[in-house]
Amino acid sequence: MRAAAPLVAVLALSACATPRLHSADELNSASLACGLTYGELIQDEEARKLLILFRVKPTPEHRRCVYQYARRNHLKMVVVDSVQFPEEAN
């Protein structure tokens, strides 16, 4: 029982750990591996836990690939597939 206490403490602390901020090169490599282009995967410094897929109408294959990357890296995938700019609305 005493030997399990450090293991339990480590697991409890790792669940609260802040995800690391991936470099632009890492995100671009993941983008290319998923069939996307540069800059379509974004990770914000203030919301490190989120991996943002920024692409109009991503295919199910793109979504699946990015989801798997996010899951491997303990991130939550967010999809932004439509953007409307106020100056273009009129």
| pLDDT tens sequence across 54-68 | 998 999 999 999 999
**The pTM is what?**
0.72
| pLDDT tens sequence across 1-43 | 556 656 555 555 555 566 789 999 999 999 999 999 999 999 9
Assess whether pLDDT exceeds 80 at residue 49.
Answer: yes
Beta-sheet pairing, 76-80 with 50-54:
parallel
Place of tokens 């109408």: 57
Number of separate helices (H) and strands (E) present in the chain: 3, 3
User: What CA–CA distance (Å, rounded) separates 66 from 22?
Assistant: 14
Q: Where are the alpha helices (DSSP H) in the chain?
A: 4-15, 24-33, 60-72
| Identity at 5, one-letter amino acid code | A
